[in-house]
Amino acid sequence: MKEPKLKIALQKQGRLADGSTALLKKCGIGFSNGFGKLRAESEDFPIEIYFLRDDDIPEYVADGVADIGIVGENVLAESPKRVETVEKLGFGRCRLSVAVPKNFEYRDLADLAGKRIATSYPNILNRYFAGNGVAADIHEISGSVEIAPSIGLADAVCDLVSSGSTLFSNGLTEVETVMRSEAVLIAKQGLDGTPREFLDKLLFRIRSVLAAQANKYILLNAPLDKVADITKLLPGMKSPTTMPLAEPGWVSIHSVIGESDFWEVVDGLKRAGAEGILVLSIDQMIR
Protein backbone atom coordinates (compact mmCIF):
# COMPACT_ATOMS: atom_id res chain seq x y z
CA MET A 1 0.00 0.00 0.00
CA LYS A 2 1.16 3.53 -0.75
CA GLU A 3 2.29 5.49 2.31
CA PRO A 4 0.05 8.50 3.01
CA LYS A 5 1.74 11.85 2.35
CA LEU A 6 0.99 15.50 2.87
CA LYS A 7 0.72 17.15 -0.54
CA ILE A 8 2.01 20.73 -0.65
CA ALA A 9 1.83 23.16 -3.59
CA LEU A 10 4.67 25.67 -3.93
CA GLN A 11 5.43 28.33 -6.53
CA LYS A 12 7.68 26.77 -9.16
CA GLN A 13 9.61 29.88 -10.10
CA GLY A 14 9.38 33.46 -8.92
CA ARG A 15 9.42 35.61 -5.86
CA LEU A 16 7.97 33.05 -3.43
CA ALA A 17 9.92 30.04 -4.68
CA ASP A 18 13.15 30.52 -2.72
CA GLY A 19 11.41 31.58 0.51
CA SER A 20 9.08 28.58 0.38
CA THR A 21 11.91 26.09 -0.19
CA ALA A 22 14.07 27.74 2.48
CA LEU A 23 11.25 27.54 5.04
CA LEU A 24 10.75 23.80 4.47
CA LYS A 25 14.50 23.25 4.68
CA LYS A 26 14.64 25.10 8.02
CA CYS A 27 11.87 22.73 9.16
CA GLY A 28 14.23 19.84 8.43
CA ILE A 29 12.52 18.93 5.15
CA GLY A 30 15.05 18.66 2.35
CA PHE A 31 14.24 17.85 -1.26
CA SER A 32 15.74 18.38 -4.67
CA ASN A 33 13.93 20.79 -6.94
CA GLY A 34 16.08 20.66 -10.03
CA PHE A 35 15.26 22.61 -13.16
CA GLY A 36 11.94 21.72 -14.78
CA LYS A 37 10.84 19.41 -11.98
CA LEU A 38 7.09 19.41 -11.31
CA ARG A 39 7.08 17.11 -8.31
CA ALA A 40 9.48 16.13 -5.53
CA GLU A 41 9.47 14.00 -2.40
CA SER A 42 11.48 14.24 0.79
CA GLU A 43 13.42 11.59 2.66
CA ASP A 44 12.84 13.48 5.90
CA PHE A 45 9.06 13.92 6.11
CA PRO A 46 5.99 12.23 4.57
CA ILE A 47 5.48 15.01 2.04
CA GLU A 48 5.00 15.33 -1.70
CA ILE A 49 5.79 18.72 -3.24
CA TYR A 50 4.13 20.08 -6.38
CA PHE A 51 5.69 23.03 -8.18
CA LEU A 52 3.04 25.24 -9.80
CA ARG A 53 2.26 28.76 -10.99
CA ASP A 54 1.26 30.75 -7.92
CA ASP A 55 -2.10 31.76 -9.43
CA ASP A 56 -3.14 28.09 -9.64
CA ILE A 57 -2.32 27.23 -6.02
CA PRO A 58 -5.64 28.30 -4.35
CA GLU A 59 -7.56 26.21 -6.87
CA TYR A 60 -5.37 23.13 -6.45
CA VAL A 61 -5.74 23.36 -2.67
CA ALA A 62 -9.50 24.11 -2.72
CA ASP A 63 -10.05 21.10 -5.00
CA GLY A 64 -7.88 18.84 -2.82
CA VAL A 65 -5.28 18.09 -5.53
CA ALA A 66 -2.88 19.45 -2.89
CA ASP A 67 -3.70 19.45 0.86
CA ILE A 68 -1.81 22.66 1.59
CA GLY A 69 0.10 25.38 -0.23
CA ILE A 70 2.14 28.56 0.09
CA VAL A 71 0.84 31.61 -1.73
CA GLY A 72 0.68 35.41 -1.44
CA GLU A 73 -2.38 36.89 0.29
CA ASN A 74 -2.89 38.96 -2.88
CA VAL A 75 -3.40 35.81 -4.98
CA LEU A 76 -5.73 34.43 -2.33
CA ALA A 77 -7.83 37.60 -2.24
CA GLU A 78 -8.12 37.56 -6.04
CA SER A 79 -9.14 33.92 -6.26
CA PRO A 80 -12.82 32.98 -5.95
CA LYS A 81 -11.74 29.69 -4.32
CA ARG A 82 -12.20 29.33 -0.55
CA VAL A 83 -9.37 27.83 1.50
CA GLU A 84 -8.25 27.98 5.14
CA THR A 85 -5.42 30.43 5.91
CA VAL A 86 -3.30 28.56 8.45
CA GLU A 87 -0.32 30.84 9.15
CA LYS A 88 1.33 34.04 7.95
CA LEU A 89 4.90 33.24 6.96
CA GLY A 90 6.68 36.60 7.11
CA PHE A 91 8.24 36.62 3.63
CA GLY A 92 7.09 37.82 0.17
CA ARG A 93 5.94 41.10 1.69
CA CYS A 94 4.51 43.61 -0.77
CA ARG A 95 1.52 45.87 -1.30
CA LEU A 96 -1.05 46.17 -4.05
CA SER A 97 -1.14 49.84 -4.98
CA VAL A 98 -2.80 52.23 -7.37
CA ALA A 99 -0.31 54.36 -9.30
CA VAL A 100 -0.82 57.23 -11.74
CA PRO A 101 1.49 58.91 -14.28
CA LYS A 102 3.59 61.71 -12.79
CA ASN A 103 1.63 64.43 -14.60
CA PHE A 104 -1.73 63.19 -13.24
CA GLU A 105 -2.98 65.70 -10.66
CA TYR A 106 -4.18 63.27 -8.05
CA ARG A 107 -6.04 64.33 -4.91
CA ASP A 108 -8.20 61.34 -3.96
CA LEU A 109 -9.83 58.19 -5.32
CA ALA A 110 -12.73 60.15 -6.82
CA ASP A 111 -10.23 61.51 -9.39
CA LEU A 112 -10.19 58.00 -10.89
CA ALA A 113 -13.95 57.93 -11.56
CA GLY A 114 -14.49 56.95 -15.21
CA LYS A 115 -10.74 56.37 -15.76
CA ARG A 116 -9.25 53.21 -17.27
CA ILE A 117 -7.18 51.25 -14.75
CA ALA A 118 -4.99 48.34 -15.84
CA THR A 119 -4.42 45.51 -13.36
CA SER A 120 -3.92 41.77 -12.97
CA TYR A 121 -6.16 41.94 -9.89
CA PRO A 122 -9.64 42.88 -11.21
CA ASN A 123 -11.62 41.19 -8.41
CA ILE A 124 -9.74 42.91 -5.59
CA LEU A 125 -9.85 46.22 -7.41
CA ASN A 126 -13.56 46.04 -8.23
CA ARG A 127 -14.30 45.39 -4.56
CA TYR A 128 -12.02 48.26 -3.52
CA PHE A 129 -13.61 50.80 -5.84
CA ALA A 130 -17.14 49.60 -5.04
CA GLY A 131 -16.34 49.83 -1.31
CA ASN A 132 -15.21 53.43 -1.81
CA GLY A 133 -18.20 54.33 -3.98
CA VAL A 134 -16.10 55.17 -7.06
CA ALA A 135 -16.93 53.77 -10.53
CA ALA A 136 -13.73 53.18 -12.54
CA ASP A 137 -13.20 51.25 -15.74
CA ILE A 138 -11.07 48.26 -14.73
CA HIS A 139 -9.12 46.45 -17.44
CA GLU A 140 -7.57 43.09 -16.70
CA ILE A 141 -4.16 42.51 -18.26
CA SER A 142 -1.97 39.60 -17.30
CA GLY A 143 1.53 41.09 -17.24
CA SER A 144 3.67 44.24 -17.63
CA VAL A 145 0.88 46.34 -16.16
CA GLU A 146 3.30 49.22 -15.49
CA ILE A 147 3.73 50.06 -19.18
CA ALA A 148 -0.03 50.36 -19.86
CA PRO A 149 -0.26 54.15 -19.34
CA SER A 150 2.77 54.96 -21.53
CA ILE A 151 1.32 53.00 -24.48
CA GLY A 152 -2.08 54.63 -24.06
CA LEU A 153 -3.83 51.52 -22.78
CA ALA A 154 -4.82 52.96 -19.40
CA ASP A 155 -4.92 56.17 -17.31
CA ALA A 156 -3.65 54.44 -14.15
CA VAL A 157 -2.49 51.03 -12.93
CA CYS A 158 -2.93 48.83 -9.89
CA ASP A 159 0.02 46.53 -9.31
CA LEU A 160 2.21 44.87 -6.70
CA VAL A 161 4.95 47.04 -5.24
CA SER A 162 7.75 46.35 -2.82
CA SER A 163 10.48 48.97 -3.25
CA GLY A 164 8.57 51.09 -5.78
CA SER A 165 11.51 51.20 -8.21
CA THR A 166 9.56 49.58 -11.10
CA LEU A 167 6.82 52.20 -10.80
CA PHE A 168 9.37 54.98 -10.57
CA SER A 169 11.30 53.88 -13.66
CA ASN A 170 8.01 53.81 -15.60
CA GLY A 171 7.12 57.37 -14.59
CA LEU A 172 4.39 56.32 -12.17
CA THR A 173 3.59 57.58 -8.67
CA GLU A 174 1.99 55.39 -6.04
CA VAL A 175 -1.18 57.06 -4.70
CA GLU A 176 -3.26 54.44 -2.86
CA THR A 177 -2.53 51.18 -1.03
CA VAL A 178 -5.30 48.69 -1.80
CA MET A 179 -3.95 45.85 0.34
CA ARG A 180 -0.78 44.59 2.03
CA SER A 181 0.35 41.05 1.42
CA GLU A 182 2.79 38.38 2.55
CA ALA A 183 3.18 34.66 1.93
CA VAL A 184 0.73 32.47 3.85
CA LEU A 185 0.30 28.76 4.43
CA ILE A 186 -3.13 27.64 3.22
CA ALA A 187 -5.00 24.37 3.63
CA LYS A 188 -8.03 22.75 2.07
CA GLN A 189 -11.10 23.61 4.13
CA GLY A 190 -12.03 20.78 6.49
CA LEU A 191 -8.72 18.94 5.99
CA ASP A 192 -8.77 15.99 8.43
CA GLY A 193 -7.34 12.55 9.14
CA THR A 194 -3.70 11.78 8.38
CA PRO A 195 -3.07 14.90 6.23
CA ARG A 196 -4.28 17.11 9.12
CA GLU A 197 -1.96 15.28 11.53
CA PHE A 198 0.98 15.80 9.17
CA LEU A 199 -0.02 19.45 8.76
CA ASP A 200 -0.07 19.94 12.55
CA LYS A 201 3.39 18.40 12.77
CA LEU A 202 4.70 20.67 10.01
CA LEU A 203 2.99 23.70 11.56
CA PHE A 204 4.69 23.04 14.89
CA ARG A 205 8.05 23.18 13.11
CA ILE A 206 7.11 26.27 11.07
CA ARG A 207 6.08 28.13 14.23
CA SER A 208 9.40 27.22 15.88
CA VAL A 209 11.28 28.58 12.87
CA LEU A 210 9.20 31.79 12.77
CA ALA A 211 9.62 32.36 16.51
CA ALA A 212 13.37 31.81 16.17
CA GLN A 213 13.56 34.32 13.30
CA ALA A 214 11.75 36.91 15.43
CA ASN A 215 14.28 36.57 18.28
CA LYS A 216 17.99 36.75 19.02
CA TYR A 217 20.12 35.02 21.62
CA ILE A 218 22.19 37.50 23.62
CA LEU A 219 25.19 36.92 25.91
CA LEU A 220 26.88 39.62 27.94
CA ASN A 221 29.16 40.17 30.92
CA ALA A 222 28.17 42.30 33.89
CA PRO A 223 29.52 43.25 37.32
CA LEU A 224 27.41 41.70 40.10
CA ASP A 225 26.10 45.07 41.33
CA LYS A 226 24.56 45.76 37.88
CA VAL A 227 22.81 42.38 37.45
CA ALA A 228 19.48 43.53 38.89
CA ASP A 229 19.25 46.53 36.52
CA ILE A 230 20.33 44.49 33.50
CA THR A 231 17.93 41.66 34.29
CA LYS A 232 15.03 44.10 34.22
CA LEU A 233 15.83 44.83 30.56
CA LEU A 234 15.92 41.15 29.59
CA PRO A 235 12.64 39.28 29.70
CA GLY A 236 14.13 35.96 28.43
CA MET A 237 11.91 32.98 27.79
CA LYS A 238 11.38 32.52 31.54
CA SER A 239 14.15 34.62 33.09
CA PRO A 240 17.75 35.22 32.03
CA THR A 241 20.42 32.67 32.90
CA THR A 242 23.39 33.98 34.90
CA MET A 243 26.73 32.21 35.33
CA PRO A 244 29.79 33.29 37.33
CA LEU A 245 32.88 34.34 35.39
CA ALA A 246 36.39 33.31 36.43
CA GLU A 247 36.96 36.95 37.41
CA PRO A 248 35.41 37.51 40.87
CA GLY A 249 32.46 39.90 41.04
CA TRP A 250 31.44 39.33 37.39
CA VAL A 251 28.76 37.16 35.76
CA SER A 252 27.79 36.18 32.25
CA ILE A 253 24.09 36.69 31.45
CA HIS A 254 22.27 34.81 28.64
CA SER A 255 18.83 35.64 27.33
CA VAL A 256 16.48 35.79 24.33
CA ILE A 257 15.30 39.15 23.03
CA GLY A 258 12.86 40.17 20.32
CA GLU A 259 14.21 41.33 16.96
CA SER A 260 11.79 44.28 16.81
CA ASP A 261 13.11 46.23 19.81
CA PHE A 262 16.59 44.72 19.59
CA TRP A 263 18.67 47.91 19.24
CA GLU A 264 16.81 49.72 22.00
CA VAL A 265 17.43 46.83 24.37
CA VAL A 266 21.14 46.72 23.43
CA ASP A 267 21.49 50.49 24.03
CA GLY A 268 19.80 50.08 27.41
CA LEU A 269 22.08 47.19 28.33
CA LYS A 270 25.21 49.18 27.53
CA ARG A 271 23.96 52.10 29.60
CA ALA A 272 23.21 49.70 32.49
CA GLY A 273 26.86 48.52 32.48
CA ALA A 274 26.86 45.42 30.23
CA GLU A 275 30.12 44.54 28.48
CA GLY A 276 31.25 42.06 25.81
CA ILE A 277 27.78 41.79 24.30
CA LEU A 278 27.41 38.91 21.80
CA VAL A 279 24.30 38.38 19.70
CA LEU A 280 23.50 35.09 17.94
CA SER A 281 20.69 33.97 15.65
CA ILE A 282 18.47 31.14 16.77
CA ASP A 283 17.62 28.14 14.54
CA GLN A 284 14.57 26.82 16.35
CA MET A 285 12.59 28.04 19.32
CA ILE A 286 10.35 25.39 20.88
CA ARG A 287 7.67 26.75 23.18
Q: Phi and psi for 14 in degrees, rounded to 5? A: 135, -165
Please provide the DSSP assignment of 82-133 as one string: --EEEEE-S-S-EEEEEEEETTS---SGGGGTT-EEEES-HHHHHHHHHHTT
Of the candidate residues 15, 46, 55, 236, the single one contacting Zn ion (CB under 5 A): 55
Assess 73 for contact with Zn ion (CB under 5 A): no
Binding mask 40-69 for ligand ATP (x = CB under 6 A): -------------xxx--------------
39 forms bridges with which residues in the sheet?
A: 50
Give the residue, chosen from 7, 9, 10, 11, that forms a contact with ligand ATP under the rule CB under 6 A. Answer: 11
Compute CA distances 159 → 39, 101, 176, 190, whole Å: 30, 13, 11, 33
Taking CB within 5 to 8 Å according to partner kind, which of ligand ATP, Zn ion, none is near residue 218?
A: none
74 touches ligand ATP (CB under 6 A): yes
State the minimum distance, in angstroms, from the CB of residue 143 to Zn ion: 9
Q: Check residue 15 for interaction with ligand ATP (CB under 6 A).
A: yes
**Do the beta carbons of residue 75 and residue 184 sit within 8 Å?**
no
The residue (of 138 and 161) whose beta carbon lies closer to ligand ATP is 161
Out of 69, 92, 149, 195, point to the residue binding ligand ATP (CB under 6 A).
92
**Could you tell me the smallest distance in angstroms from the CB atom of residue 93 to ligand ATP?**
6
Residue from 54, 56, 78, 155 in contact with Zn ion (CB under 5 A): 54
> Can you spell out the DSSP letters for 17-58?
HHHHHHHHHHTT------TT--EEE-SSSSEEEEEE-GGGHH
Residues in contact with 52: Cβ distance below 8 Å, sequence separation at least 6, in sequence order: 9, 10, 11, 12, 60
Figure out which of the listed residues 126, 132, 144, 162 binds ligand ATP, where binding follows CB under 6 A.
162
> In degrees to the nearest 10, what's the CA dihedral of 72, 200, 82, 69?
40
CB of 121 to ligand ATP, least distance (A): 9
By the criterion CB under 6 A, which residues form the site for ligand ATP? 11, 14-16, 53-55, 72, 74-75, 92, 94, 160-162, 181
By the criterion CB under 5 A, which residues form the site for Zn ion? 54-55
